[in-house]
């Protein structure tokens, strides 16, 4: 123990003598090691372990590119996603999604849920088997209040009760036109666990803030795509 303490004191003296050059070297190492560790973790999770999706070898992530600058962007604008869905010939379906959280109220407790805001095609792309249906594509007003519940949440919170279909749940979400819980009608129940697809937010947020492919989706709500928005690219896309 005495020898170890001496080593520490010696190291501290050397660091103090090194001054600013030592600090710069340590910061450079930290900056280099941090991103590489993150990239390795994501790469290992996606490549070394099989992806938990049906037909995983046929799935692709889509990214927009600026050809004049040779730049890829991590997310796509809603209007551009609609163009891909209408014009792409190489895919059976193209879906957009983004991270969402809501607070489920009622009963004896409130619970924070982690899920996704998605286009209806998501369930076809990821092969998510449902009891019930996906979001109504032809009625934007109806879609605003729909929710699909993940299998694990359905089992844990509602005892796998099939009568949950069609019922109203009160969830707290960002809704500037409504004060208090927003009534959401259960239109579908997932029959198996569905895992989060890769999210661009995973690469830019603090560890633990977002979920990865090892975690199950609690819920899905419809993403109300703005067909005029080509400026704000905030959707992940998968096909």
pLDDT in tens, 94-121: 999 999 888 888 767 788 899 999 999 9
Mark whether 130 and 162 lie in a shared domain.
yes
> What pLDDT, in 10s, does the model give residues 154-207?
999 999 999 999 998 888 765 444 556 778 899 999 999 999 988 876 544 444
**In this structure, are 60 and 108 located in the same domain?**
yes
Q: Are residues 78 and 115 in the same domain?
A: yes
User: 65 with 36, same domain?
Assistant: no
Confidence of residue 225 (pLDDT cuts 50, 70, 90): confident
Quote the tokens at residue 170: 């009160």
Q: Are residues 106 and 16 in the same domain?
A: no
Q: What is the pLDDT of residue 107?
A: 67
Domain span at residue 18? 2-48
Same domain, 200 and 228: yes
**Three-class secondary structure assignment of the chain:** CHHHHHHHHHHHHHHHHHCHHHHHHHHHHHHHHHHHHHHHHHHHHHHHCCCCCCCHHHCCEECCEECCCCEECCCECHHHHHHHHHHCCCCCCCEEEEEEEEEECCCCCCEEEEEEEECCCHHHHCCCCEEECCCCCCCHHHHCCEEEECHHHHHHHHCCCHHHCCCEEEEECCCCCCCCCEEEEEEEEECCCCECCCCHHHHCCCCCCCCCCCCECCEEEECCCCCCCCCCCCEEEEC
28 shares its domain with 110: no
| Residues 45-55, mean pLDDT to the nearest whole number | 69
Q: Are residues 159 and 199 in the same domain?
A: yes
38 and 136 in a single domain? The answer is: no
- Contacts with 200 (C-beta within 8 Å, 6 or more apart), sequence order: 74, 75, 236
The per-residue pLDDT for 140 is 62
Q: What is the pLDDT of residue 154?
A: 95
Q: What is the average pLDDT value for the chain, to the nearest integer?
A: 79
Q: Are residues 144 and 162 in the same domain?
A: yes
Q: What percent of the chain has pLDDT over 90?
A: 35
Q: Are residues 202 and 104 in the same domain?
A: yes
Residue 28 has, within 13 A of its CA and on its CB side, a CA count of 6
20, 66: one domain: no
Count of structural domains within the chain: 2
């Amino acid at each position: 123990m005495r020898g170890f303490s001496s080593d520490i004191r010696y190291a501290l003296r050397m660091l103090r003598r090194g001054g600013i050059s030592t600090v710069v070297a340590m910061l450079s190492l930290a900056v280099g090691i941090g991103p590489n560790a993150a990239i390795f973790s994501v790469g290992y999770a996606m490549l070394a372990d099989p992806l938990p999706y049906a037909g995983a070898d046929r799935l692709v992530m889509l990214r927009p590119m600026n050809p004049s600058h040779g730049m890829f962007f991590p997310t796509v604008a809603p209007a551009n996603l609609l163009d891909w869905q209408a014009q792409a010939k190489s895919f059976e379906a193209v879906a957009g999604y983004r991270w969402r959280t809501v607070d489920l109220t009622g009963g004896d407790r409130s619970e924070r849920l982690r899920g996704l805001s998605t286009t209806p095609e998501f369930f076809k792309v990821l092969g998510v088997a449902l009891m019930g249906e996906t979001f109504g594509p032809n009625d934007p007003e109806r879609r605003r209040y729909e929710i699909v519940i993940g299998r694990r949440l359905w089992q844990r919170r509602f005892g796998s009760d099939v009568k949950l279909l069609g019922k109203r749940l009160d969830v707290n979400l960002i809704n500037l036109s409504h004060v208090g819980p927003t009534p959401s009608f259960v239109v579908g129940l997932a029959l198996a666990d569905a895992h989060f697809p890769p999210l661009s937010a995973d690469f830019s947020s603090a560890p633990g803030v977002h979920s990865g492919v090892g975690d199950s989706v609690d819920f899905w709500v419809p993403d109300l795509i703005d067909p005029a928005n080509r400026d704000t690219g905030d959707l992940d896309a998968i096909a």
